[in-house]
Amino acid sequence: MTLGIKRNVNRDFSAQSKLLTPFQKSLLLKHLQTDLRPQYRQRIEIMLLADQGKSQTIICAELGCSKDTARYWMSMAQNGLAHKWQEIAVGRPKKFNEDYLQRLKELVTSSPNTYGYSFQSWTAEWLSKHLENEFGIKLSARHINRLLKKMGLSKRERCLQTSQNNLDREEVKIVIRNLPSSGSSEVNNYWLWQSI
């Protein structure tokens, strides 16, 4: 995933402040000189550009950020909350941890019968329900499938493999016969077909 952050280290922020206190501005400028993650750098630059009186449209064009991002950090500067630029985590918080992923891996490689379920193979929906009971974390079936794919595990292949193993263990027989006509008392012929 690439961010639309345009980096221009040579910006001039020496213009008269309109939103920030001198202390806030000097603190932001000091942090801007350090090695920051691009998202944090962008937050500081948005507030400093807003402090110079630049509009949201101009800030978005200069930094390559979304309108929502620019609007949010401009309002933080306007409300005197510029010091909170690093307190708000970048990105969506993770709902699960390594223990969750390890348990998912254990479940998918074992039979649901082991855990008291009557079905033969896991579905993403049932994995989600089981893990919600254990961890208290609810993920959608779609998210479970993404996690399995990321771990190199395919629930679908496991289901097919389980089904094939069941077929290998059982003798499959199919009976082919003519349907009796209504009111007919004739004896039907049956053909027995057996897989090899």
Could you read off the pLDDT of 24-80 as tens digits, one per residue? 888 898 988 888 888 899 999 999 999 999 999 999 999 999 999 999 999 999 998
The residue out of 67, 91, 115 marking a domain boundary is: 91
Band of residue 21 on the pLDDT scale cut at 50, 70, 90: confident
Residue 3 in domain? yes
DSSP letter string, the chain: ----PPP-TT----SPPSSS-HHHHHHHHHHHTS---HHHHHHHHHHHHHHTT--HHHHHHHHT--HHHHHHHHHHHHTT-GGGTTTSPSSPPPS--HHHHHHHHHHHTS-GGGGT-SSSS--HHHHHHHHHHHHS----HHHHHHHHHHTT--HHHHHHHHHHHHHHHSPPEEEEEPPPPTT--PPPPEEEEE--
User: What's the pLDDT score for residue 42?
Assistant: 93
Residue 166 has pLDDT above 50, yes or no: yes
- Domain match, 9 and 87 both: yes
User: What's the pLDDT score for residue 62?
Assistant: 92
Q: What is the mean pLDDT of residues 113-127?
A: 89
- Domain match, 54 and 26 both: yes
Band of residue 18 on the pLDDT scale cut at 50, 70, 90: confident
User: What's the pLDDT score for residue 4?
Assistant: 47
- Domain match, 162 and 85 both: no
The whole-chain average pLDDT of the chain stands at 77
- Domain match, 138 and 66 both: no
- Listed in sequence order, the residues at least 6 apart from 102 whose beta carbon sits closer than 8 Å to its beta carbon are none
Residue 19 in domain? yes
- Domain match, 1 and 54 both: yes
Of residues 75 and 184, more confidence is placed in: 75
The residue out of 91, 108, 126 marking a domain boundary is: 91
Band of residue 170 on the pLDDT scale cut at 50, 70, 90: low
User: What's the pLDDT score for residue 192?
Assistant: 47
CA atoms within 13 A on the CB side of 115: 19
Residue 68 in domain? yes
Q: What is the mean pLDDT of residues 148-160?
A: 66
Count: domains in the chain = 2
User: What's the pLDDT score for residue 136?
Assistant: 82
- Domain match, 84 and 117 both: no
User: What's the pLDDT score for residue 2?
Assistant: 41
Of residues 61 and 119, more confidence is placed in: 61
Domain residues for the domain of 39 are: 1-91
34 vs 18: CA distance, rounded Å: 24
Residue 5 in domain? yes
- Domain match, 106 and 87 both: no
Element (H, E) at 78: helix 67-78
Q: What is the pTM of this model?
A: 0.46
Residue 120 in domain? yes
- Domain match, 74 and 103 both: no
Residue 176 in domain? no
User: What's the pLDDT score for residue 167?
Assistant: 52
